[in-house]
Amino acid sequence: MTRTVYVNGKYLPENEATVSIFDRGFLFADGVYEVTSVLDGKLIDFDGHARRLARSLGELGMRNPIATEDLLEVHRELVRANSIVEGLIYLQITRGAAADRDFAYPCEDTPPTIVLFTQNKPGLADSPMAKTGIKVISIEDQRWARRDIKTVQLLYPSMGKMMAKAAGCDDAWMVEDGAVTEGTSNNAYIVKGGKIITRHLSNDILHGITRAAVLRFAREAQMEVEERAFTVAEAQDADEAFFTSASAFVMPVVELDGAAIGTGAPGPVATRLREIYLDESRQVAI
Ligand code: PDD
């Protein structure tokens, strides 16, 4: 099926949608993005993603080309037009196309480029991987120092996924100064003695929208949460590990660098948090 996508104010069949070769997203990775999940045909945590988008744009001094209520309407229209019941909506805004390639930003009145498309993922909430858990390797974190901004510079995370694949694993957790920062496209957690441990917020990691919701639900369920950095050795010695993201929700991690974590199967805390997250998020989806 040909998808309907959104480009600069227009809904178009995907094969008719185009962006300039001078677009700064293409030439300089000068753009930001968001990924919002869809369950039961509704958007999960749209407000959180819209707020983070505004923050990312602000941090880069980029103009926001669309009001939040209009952005919501575009998301909903794409869900409708593409009959998405479970899936993802990808949104990207770049600093637009200058007249030529130039490192300096183009003049203020250059219109930003905005693109949205859907990814149909039937069975997203009922992922078989959530039942078996996934295996990760650790790699050095070689990204830039503003990982709190959700930019489209994703080459190193892509390389990390390929390194994981080559090692027969599913993903990589990145390590800096001896501590885990985050996964290639997710936030990382361990559980020890019933306590959920995840890195504190700073410029070193993306401030995950799923992370914020999961920590809120965990605290509401009287689970203990500690926001601090942890090492690979600590993770290997943990009772459980998991990661969170808008595309995987809460995903158990059962192996790190070849060492089984806990029993080597998804643990009760990750399993419970996934259930709570899916239940609660569905109730307030819009
Ligand atoms: N990735 N950390 C990184 C580096 C990420 O790329 C992501 C999300 C997260 C989790 O953030 P959230 O809970 O808001 O999805 C953490 C998206 C899903 C992606 O790149 O596809």
The predicted model scores a pTM of 0.97
Q: Is 131 a catalytic residue?
A: no
Ligand 1, atom 1, residue with closest C-alpha? 185
In whole angstroms, give the CA distance from residue 15 to residue 2: 8
Residue 238 pLDDT more than 90?
yes
Q: Is 248 in the pocket of ligand 1 (CB under 6 A)?
A: no
- Total Cβ atoms within 10 A of residue 177: 9
Of the residues 131, 150, 161, 195, only one is catalytic, namely 150
R_g of the chain, CA atoms, integer Å? 19
Residue 18 pLDDT more than 80?
yes
Average pLDDT of 243-258? 98
- Provide the angle, in degrees to the nearest 10, between the axes of the packed helices 268-284 and 209-220: 110
Residue 53 pLDDT more than 80?
yes
Task: Give the contacts of 267 (CB within 8 A, at least 6 positions apart).
Answer: 191, 239, 240, 242, 252
Tens-place pLDDT, residues 140-184: 999 999 999 999 999 999 999 999 999 999 999 999 999 999 999
Q: Which of ligand 1's atoms lies nearest the C-alpha of 49?
A: 14
Q: Is the alpha carbon torsion for 41, 76, 152, 232 positive or negative? A: negative
Of 44, 54, 37, the closest CA to residue 89 belongs to: 37
Q: Is 246 in the pocket of ligand 1 (CB under 6 A)?
A: yes
Average pLDDT of 274-285? 97
H/E stretch holding 198 reads strand 195-198
Q: Is 187 in the pocket of ligand 1 (CB under 6 A)?
A: yes
55 CA distance to ligand 1 middle (Å) = 15
Residue 223 pLDDT more than 90?
yes
Tens-place pLDDT, residues 100-151: 999 999 998 999 999 999 999 999 999 999 999 999 999 999 999 999 999 9
- Total Cβ atoms within 10 A of residue 228: 9
Q: Is 36 in the pocket of ligand 1 (CB under 6 A)?
A: no
* pLDDT of 1: 75
